[in-house]
Amino acid sequence: MSEEQKTGRRAFIAASVGAAGFVALAPGVKLMDLAQARAPGESVSGKVRWGMLIDTTKCATGCSDCVAACATENAIEPGSGRPAQSSQWIRKIELKEKTGGHRELSLPMMCQHCANPPCVDVCPTGASFKRADGIVLVDRHICIGCRYCMMACPYQARSFVHEPLHHQNPEVPRGQGCVEACTFCVQRIDRGQGPACVEACGKSGHEAMLFGDLNDPGGEIAKRISTVASSQVRADLRLDPGVRYQGI
């Protein structure tokens, strides 16, 4: 390791410690452990699998702070066309049980970051891919806009950009003619933060969203998943989604 890289790693760890101090104030946000922090120039590790646990009993009907935070972080604006032509990386689904007491539930739905993602299977160019740490992304450089992944996704989590965009966040490139979806705020993860939606949910006091490394046995999310009953949406498809729901 060169001297420069060492300095880089030290600076990064220092920054991460600072970020951890800040984030500890925002409940509901669980950071990656410092042992997993990456130095610049170091690739993401397959030892990590990012995931989310959503407690539907805490998620409030009518609250859409997660959706707003996503839109702010990723610069998602409503388009000029019909509502169905605008991008939605995360949406709130309101559920009402058809039988019995008509139990009502509210939950956020987004890319489930499957371990066996159908969008990656069907993508002709390989633009849909799964990063080593389990985040499913679209490489817009090679996406041709065929929308086959949108046909294949069981969660309808993907959107097609229907018109030219001008107000992108410099860290979140997005553009006309490509398909996109929730990235778990990969730009934040790469600098040691959690997704914006999770942070917003914590700030709102609901603390319905927990983010972390599913593979880390000591981590909060792995502990919670091993102790409380959680479910996967469309578990029958055996896609092993990284987003789990509690209380459905």
Q: How far is CA 138 from CA 81, 113, 127, 131, 201, in A?
A: 23, 12, 5, 10, 25
Nearer to other proteins, 26 or 154 (CB): 154
125 phi-psi bin (left φ>0, alpha ψ -120 to 50, beta other): alpha
First to last CA, the chain: 49
Nearer to other proteins, 141 or 226 (CB): 141
Nearer to other proteins, 99 or 226 (CB): 99
22 torsion bin: left (phi>0), alpha (psi -120 to 50), beta (else): alpha
Contact present, 189 and 134 (Cβ < 8 Å): no
Phi-psi sector, 97: left (phi>0), alpha (psi -120 to 50), beta: beta
Amino acid sitting at position 226: S
- Are the beta carbons of 138 and 127 closer than 8 angstroms? yes
Q: Do residues 114 and 240 touch, judged by C-beta distance below 8 A? A: yes
Report residue 56 as tokens. Answer: 């539907």
Of 121 and 223, which CB lies nearer to other proteins in the complex structure? 121
Q: For residue 180, what is the DSSP state?
A: E
CB of 240 to other proteins, least distance (A): 14
Q: Which is nearer to other proteins, 47 or 223 (CB)?
A: 47
- Min dist CB 72 to other proteins, Å, is 11
C-beta of 237: minimal distance to other proteins in Å? Answer: 6
We find the least distance from the C-beta atom of residue 203 to other proteins, in angstroms, to be 19
In the complex, the smallest distance separating the C-beta of residue 223 from other proteins, rounded to whole angstroms, is 25
**Residue with Cβ nearer other proteins (223 or 234):** 234
Q: Which is nearer to other proteins, 12 or 58 (CB)?
A: 12
Measure the CA–CA gap between 183 and 176, rounded to whole angstroms.
18
Minimum distance from CB of 160 to other proteins (Å)? Answer: 6
DSSP element (H, E) containing 104: strand 104-110
